[in-house]
Structure 1
Amino acid sequence: MTRKVFFSFHYEPDIQRAHVVRNSWVTKKDREQAGFFDSSVFEAKKRTSDDAIATFLKAGLQGASVTCVLTGAQTAYREWVRYEILQSFKDGRGLINVAIHTISNLKGLKTTAGANPLSLLGGEVKGDTLHFKEHNGSKWVWTSRVKSMPLAGVAYDLGGRSNFTFDQLFPSFEWSSDGGYDNLGTWVEDAAQAAGR
Structure 2
Amino acid sequence: MARKCFFSFHYQPDNWRASTIRSIGAIEGNQPALDNDWEKVTKGGDAQIQKWIESQMEGRTCAIVLIGSNTAKRKWIDYEIKKAWDNKMGVLGIHIHGVKDSSGNTSIKGADPFAHFKLGEKPLSSIIQIYDPTGFDSKAKYNTIAENIDSWIERAIETRKKH
What TM-score results when the alignment is normalised by the length of structure 2?
0.87
2:125 to 167, 171, 191: 167
Aligned 8 A contact 1:104 1:110 in 2: yes
Higher strand fraction: Structure 1 or Structure 2?
1
**CA-CA distance at 1:41 after TM superposition:** 2.0
Residue in structure 2 matching 1:85, options 81, 84, 98:
81
* Structure 1 residue aligned with 2:48: 52
For structure 2, the 5+ residue unaligned runs are 136-140
Maintained 8 Å contact 2:127/2:159 = no
Residue 109 to residue 22, structure 1, CA distance change in 2 (3 Å): same
| Matching of residue 15 in structure 1 with residue 15 in structure 2 | yes
Q: What is the number of residues matched between the two proteins?
A: 154
* Of 98, 102, 110, the match for 1:102: 98
Q: Aligned partners of 1:123 and 1:76: how far apart in 2?
A: 18
Say if 2:143 is the partner of 1:185: no
Task: Work out the CA distance in 1 between the residues paired with 2:132 and 2:21.
Answer: 12
CA drift of 1:43 comes to 2.3
Kindly indicate whether the alpha-carbon contact (under 8 Å) linking 1:65 and 1:93 is maintained by their aligned counterparts in 2.
yes
Q: Does 1:34 align with 2:56?
A: no
Distance apart, 1:176 and its partner CA = 4.0
Residues 17, 103 of structure 1: 8 Å contact kept: yes
Q: Mark the CA change 1:37 to 1:174 in structure 2 (over 3 Å): closer, same or farther.
A: farther
2:22 and 2:29 in contact (8 A); partners too: yes
Q: 1:35 to 1:169 in 2, by over 3 A?
A: farther
Q: Which residue of 1 aligns with 2:60?
A: 64
SS of structure 2 residue aligned to 1:67: strand
Give per-residue Cα distances to partners, 1:80-107, cap 9 Å, x unaligned.
Answer: 0110000011110000000000001121
Please report the TM-score for the alignment, with normalisation by the length of structure 1.
Answer: 0.73
Q: Which amino acid aligns with 1:10?
A: H
Cα 1:167/1:46, change in 2 over 3 Å: same
**Quick one: structure 1 residues 38 and 176, their matched pair in 2 at CA, closer, same or farther if it must change by over 3 Å?**
farther
Larger radius of gyration: 1
1:66-124 CA distance string (max 9 Å, x none): 00000101110211011000001111000000000000112110001111101122233
CA deviation profile, 1:8-53 (whole Å, cap 9, x unmatched): 00000000000111011xx24xx31115352332221111111111
Distance in 2 between the 1:111 and 1:37 partners? 23
Q: Identity over aligned residues, as a percent? A: 26
After superposition, what is the alpha-carbon deviation per residue over 1:124-151, rounded to whole angstroms, capped at 9, x for unaligned? 3xxxxxxxxxxxxxxxxxxxxxxxxxxx
